[in-house]
Amino acid sequence: MENKSNKLSEDILKEIEELGNDHIMTSIATPLRDDAFELSDAEKIERIQEYFEKIMHTLGLDLTDDSLKGTPKRVAKLYVNELFKGLNEKNKPSMSTFENKYQYRQMLVEKNITLYSNCEHHFLPIVGKAHVAYIPKDKVIGLSKMNRIVDYYARRPQVQERLALQILNEMQRSLGTEDVAVYIDAEHMCVSSRGASDQSSSTVTVEFGGQFNEETTKKEFLTYINDKLK
């Protein structure tokens, strides 16, 4: 019984160590080289196609098969044009704001924003929901812009902690206020399909700015995002 308990403890420590190594975040900014955009999108697609073809060949797949021969190019286009398009600032949505003519001063919450991203440690999907809120001052922003900014920062290899911070910082910069909150609840395929193989867990990251650090405002925000229509 004691040996079984020791083995369990060792397994738990191993998982904790692995999780820690997997979730190193060196900065809020996504780590990019200085020459990250010297190649055009078309050139990147061509190179990734070649590299991915070699990966498939190494795995022993028959690239002459009708089902597989187009896969390298499909993957390359997927990487550049869809999954990781948020790496390039040219794809950043316009964050145009409007004068707060209504003088609305209460909390505005955009909840249940669908989020698709990819873990930067294993390039496996992160799928979940983001909830973003702010308290307007002189400026307000269109509701769809909040969804778009979540999607923009999600469309890059990510760490969920960094993703929450990037969304928060962009909202604060655009609106000229610290009063922003971001809550992300997501499932990580690198947890559910490998390693721990835990298919029931999700990861929550929360970032509060300005008034949202006050207990009353924080509680109000959390109440809103957990409220279900009856």
Catalytic residue among 120, 170, 207, 211: 120
160 is catalytic: yes
User: Does an H or E element contain 109, and which?
Assistant: strand 108-119
CA distances from 109 to 28, 128, 133, 152, 217 (A): 24, 17, 4, 19, 12
pLDDT tens string 141-187: 999 999 999 999 999 999 999 999 999 999 999 999 999 999 999 99
**pLDDT for 69-116, tens place per residue?**
999 999 999 999 999 999 999 999 998 899 999 899 999 999 999 999
Distance, CA of 197 to CA of 226 (rounded, Å): 27
Instruction: Work out the average pLDDT over 37-41.
Output: 97
Question: How many CA atoms are closer than 13 Å to the CA of 158, on its beta-carbon side?
Answer: 32
Place of tokens 């669908």: 114
Distance between CA atoms of 120 and 124, rounded to whole angstroms?
A: 8
57 is catalytic: no
- Residue 192's DSSP bridge partners are none
- Which residue out of 15, 122, 161, 187 is catalytically annotated? 122
Active site residue 119: yes
Q: Which of 160, 166, 207, 211 is flagged as catalytic?
A: 160
pLDDT at 14 over 90: no
Contacts of 129 (CB under 8 A, 6+ apart): 111, 112, 113, 114, 115, 184, 185, 186
Q: Is there a catalytic annotation at residue 131?
A: no
Q: pTM, whole model, 2 decimals?
A: 0.85
Catalytic residue among 110, 166, 190, 211: 190
CA dist., res. 157 & res. 118, Å (int):
5
Catalytic residue check, 188? yes
Q: Which of 23-27, 34-38, 70-74 has the lowest mean pLDDT?
A: 23-27
Mean local confidence (pLDDT), 41-53:
98
Mean pLDDT of 59-69: 97
Q: Which of 49, 53, 110, 119 is catalytic?
A: 119
